[in-house]
Amino acid sequence: MLNNYNYTNIKILKGLEVVRKCPGMYIGEVENGNGLHHMVFEIIDNSVDEIIINKCDKIIVTIHNDNSISIQDNGKGIPTNIHKKKKISIAEILMTILHTGSKFNNKKKKKKWEGGGGGGDSNKSIINFVHIVFL
């Protein structure tokens, strides 16, 4: 048997392509609904983090008739200004680029609630539609 394994067999996935090709790495089982639950819990976890640091005191989770889910909180929100280096809104960066956030090196923000740690990363390329409302 001839071994044809070489550099052409190696794929380099970048950005959200990794999540699209291997969603189980980010959300777990995709066939039985557990992945959907994980995605919802990751967003709720972000709201719980806000409660823990006293920036929020209300979380509302709604399952709509069309099976879509809304998650609202009264926390500090997501910045909408333009990122100086990327030249796009910070909200767009947070929703479309993996491993972005404000809590990586902030020692003041101690997490007591432990989700998967990926926050919205697990959702960024798997969901069909996201609608963000800033109040």
Catalytic residues: 42
Which long-range contacts (C-beta less than 8 Å, at least 24 apart) are formed by 106-115? 108/53, 109/49, 109/53, 110/52, 110/53, 111/49, 111/52, 112/52, 113/45, 113/48, 113/49, 113/52, 115/41, 115/42, 115/44, 115/45, 115/48
Do residues 57 and 47 make contact, with C-beta atoms less than 8 angstroms apart? no
Backbone angles phi, psi at 56, to 5 degrees: -160, 145
